[in-house]
Amino acid sequence: MRPCHLKIASSFTRGFHTARLAPRPQRYFHLTTQARLPRKRNFFTSNVYLSQNTDEPSTRQLDHRNDEASLPAPTKRKPVRSAGAKNSLRRVAIIAQRPAQRDAGAQDGESPDPSASTLVSAVCIAESFNMSLVVDALRAHGFDIDPDQSGFEASEVVHARGVNSGDIFVFPSGTIVTWALPPDVVTKQLLSAAETPLKPALREVEDLEYVADPSRETSGLKGDIVVLGTKLEERNGDRLDTTLAKIAFSSGLARSTKLAVLETALTAYFESTRKIPSLLSKGTGLPLGRKFILQKTGELLSLRARLNHYSELTDSLPDIFWDSRAELGLEGYYEQVGRALDVNVRIRTLNQKMDYAQEIASVMREMSSEQHSTRLEWIIIILIAVEVVFEVRRIVLEWSEEEAEASKTAA
């Protein structure tokens, strides 16, 4: 038998020999696949494999862009303000409200699915409507008037429905609200019933998205999406409660659209009087006629009256909801739209701007009165000067006649 130390030496030699004869792994420099490349770093290095080319997009960025390109393009919502609207109060208010509203919506429950949403649009085309003519015009074009027997009088709101189940609500304030219908469908037909129609550039259009949720009995506003609870409609086949909720939301949206018209009109008023403060700061007089000053004063008074007296914009709740059942929650729906669109804040801001415009109008009237008084004073001075000239002429003539008589007497 072999000794123990010989066995150990033999196994060690055999293992060493096997390791030496095994082929060593070789790295091929021409293999530059993505798997064989070392990790790229964001620091500067002269190594072409470690350095990242900032001029060309990385593979991950290209893949991300390709994934984005493969996704369907999101549906572009119609802007809350039309192209003719110059004032951005409405947009700022919505941007400021969205974070809080989305947080509140997340606490209440799951957010509605935006993929199933459609639009509710409001357009203001006139100062007011002749509601009897509105009913006649809609009926003449084949619309079903008050199909759900809501119980509202035509002087309060007119509900019409077309063949495609789209709802139309016409308010006496000159505003049309359509659900799942473009507002252009009935705008031209209702111009004949408009009193003091607005020019197309002065019209205002505002949109909200809405979804129908058959698992809810009540409706609400989550973020900027109206959620209509249609559980009772699906169960009983009665659309009255859903229609009443639509009327409440439509009334709030129509109020905001009417307010947007006044905001645009006030913006145009400020644009026409923009140079007056700079002229006063230079110490020069106002090269403005009395007619212009009276015209601007009348415009301002008309705007203030349209906001505070001749409409329900400043009312906390329209008269049409006073007799509604409390369990329907129509007052809450109306107030939700008002809070989402910051209507009360905009009304307060609009009144503050009108106060500033009233100060400008007061300054213009005072300057006009001063100019008129100065003109009268100069007229009086000129008349006195003319009278003095005639009196001096009379005195000179009398003196010359006396001198002539005295010379004749002496002769």
Task: Convert the pLDDT of each residue in 372-407 to its tens digit.
Answer: 888 899 999 999 999 999 999 999 999 988 888 888
Overall average pLDDT of the 252-257 stretch: 93
Whether the CB-CB separation of 334 and 177 falls below 8 Å is answered with no
Whether the CB-CB separation of 243 and 159 falls below 8 Å is answered with yes
Evaluate if residue 27 carries a pLDDT over 90.
Answer: no
Q: Cα separation of 155 and 148, whole Å?
A: 17
Overall average pLDDT of the 113-130 stretch: 79
Overall average pLDDT of the 167-191 stretch: 91
Largest CA distance in the chain: 193
Whether the CB-CB separation of 303 and 354 falls below 8 Å is answered with yes
Mean of the per-residue pLDDT values for the chain?
75
Evaluate if residue 7 carries a pLDDT over 60.
Answer: no
Overall average pLDDT of the 61-80 stretch: 42
**pLDDT at position 43, please?**
46
Overall average pLDDT of the 148-158 stretch: 87
Overall average pLDDT of the 69-77 stretch: 40
**pLDDT at position 231, please?**
84
Task: Identify the residue with better confidence: 165 or 328.
Answer: 165
Evaluate if residue 313 carries a pLDDT over 90.
Answer: no
Least confident span in 59-73, 134-148, 188-202, 334-348: 59-73
Whether the CB-CB separation of 159 and 168 falls below 8 Å is answered with yes
Residues paired with residue 177 on neighbouring β-strands, in sequence order: 122, 169
**pLDDT at position 174, please?**
92
pLDDT band at 326 (very low <50, low <70, confident <90, very high): low
- DSSP β-ladder status, 158-161 and 144-145: antiparallel
**pLDDT at position 263, please?**
93
Q: What percent of the chain has pLDDT over 70?
A: 70
pTM of the model: 0.64
Q: Cα separation of 253 and 354, whole Å?
A: 23
Whether the CB-CB separation of 218 and 234 falls below 8 Å is answered with no
Task: Identify the residue with better confidence: 26 or 133.
Answer: 133
